[in-house]
Amino acid sequence: MTKKKLKIEGMHCSSCAMSIDFDLEDLEGVKSSKTSFVKQETEVEFDEKLIDLPKILEQIKTTGYSAE
């Protein structure tokens, strides 16, 4: 399991944070995702054997935000 902190841009309210968590946790291999609106960051825990970081970043982009 790997834990990563990602900086998110483009969130304007806590609903956005929820959307990101919901979408990430739907991905296979992502164990948990905790997005903080106040800190503008996501803490994501995932299994590197099943999913890699670029895919996670891609999903955040699809949800509508930019991350790095």
Partner 1 sequence: MDQNIPPIKTEIKISGMVTLNEEIIVAKLLMQIDGIVKVYAHHKNGKSEIYSSREISLNELQQTLAGYNFQVSGWGNKEITGSETDKKRISGKDFLKFLPVVILVVTAYLVYKNFNLASQTQNVESVNLWVIFLTGLTVGGLTCLAVQGGLLASVIAEREEESALGKGIAKHAIYATGAFLVSKYIAYVALGFLLGAFGGALNIDGRVQTVMQLAAGFYMIAVALNLLNIHPIFRYAIIQPPRFLTRLVRNQSKSKDIFAPALLGAMTIFIPCGTTIAIEALAISSANAFAGAAIMAAFILGTMPVFFGIGFITSILGETFKTKFLKLAAVAVIYLGITSINGSLTALGSSVTLQALVESFPKTISLGKSDNNTQSSQSITQNAEIEITSRGYVPAYLKVKKGQEVTLTLKSKDAYSCASAFRIPTLGVSLNLAPNDTQTVKFTPDKAGQITFACSMGMYRGVIDVI
Residues at the site binding partner 1, with contacts judged by CB under 8 A: 12-19, 21-23, 34, 36-38, 40, 49-50, 62, 64
Question: Do residues 14 and 37 lie in contact, with contact meaning Cβ atoms separated by under 8 Å?
Answer: yes
Pair of tokens at residue 44: 């994501």
**Closest separation in Å from C-beta 48 to partner 1:** 11
Secondary structure (3-state) at 8: strand
- Shortest Å distance, C-beta 42 to partner 1: 13
- Shortest distance, CB of residue 4 to partner 1, whole angstroms? 19
Q: Collapsing DSSP states into helix, strand and coil, what is residue 23? A: helix
